[in-house]
Structure 1
Amino acid sequence: MNNTTQQITDDIKTAMRERNKIALNVLRALKSAITNASIDKGGAGTQLEENEVVNVIRKQIKQRLDSVSQYESAGRSELAENEKAEITVLESYLPAALSVDEIVAAVESAITETGAESKRDMGKVMKLLQAKTEGRADGKILSQEVMKRLS
């Protein structure tokens, strides 16, 4: 069990003791999503790498962001607030995000390393960039930065 997964398990126990329903529900759903991802990867008992766990967490956050926008457009602010509280819990398990300067430097470095010259080379730049940033930057932001620099 990797560090993040162990931390989630410990925090589930803490949330139970503290009767923190929001944290408990979010962490149980997250643990279930991690278990499902590990089964998809290689069957029962397969362990996910740390970056794979981070990807599962990001996916859970994205789902909740989608729900927030739907709830807000439907005028259900109480449900949107609940989703936002869940997002806060999930974000605490993500590694520290890269700053804008660090993202720009990583993009420049990846373009130089791959020898990319046009948008056709974007795939290989993104592949290297995602490996370098290890889930510490949103893929959409990385993609936008790469697009700015490749013509």
Structure 2
Amino acid sequence: MKKIVYGLLLFSAIGCGSVENYTQNDLRQEFFQEKMMVFTLSSASVKYINVTGPHSGYPSNPDVNEVFKQAVAELAEETHLNLKTADHISQASIDVKILDIDWHFGLSRTDMITKLNFNTNGKNYESTGHFKNFGGSAGNNLKRSFKNAIYNFLLTYQK
């Protein structure tokens, strides 16, 4: 019985410890060097999380706007890029619309998947963010999924 408990603790620690860190990344720093990327969320964005799979209770929906701001701030710090959020569309250079937020519970892990549309200079870029974990809170998993989606957008945008 102790071996099972220790095994689960080890599995949990490894699963929860697999957090993505964007300090080592594939972004071209010279491309973004003179740019300030200012994001704002569209008022038409999805504000709720679709929860599927076997789970207990109903997780509370975090403040999606606040979580998005945290994701941009953390990604800016980790990538050393000039990324910011704006409160008004007139201040932003990139309008972001959240198309979908899904949190799927499996038997041994959860997957947070976000689909975002980035509109800048008349062009649309659709990006998907993924975050896999053993559990975690809705807000923390959502933030990491947003970071992944924003990072994926930046990879596409720099081309």
TM-score (norm 1): 0.24
Higher helix share: 1
Q: Relative contact order: is structure 1 or structure 2 higher (C-alpha 8 Å, sep ≥ 6)?
A: 2
TM-score (norm 2): 0.24
Larger radius of gyration: 1
Higher strand share: 2
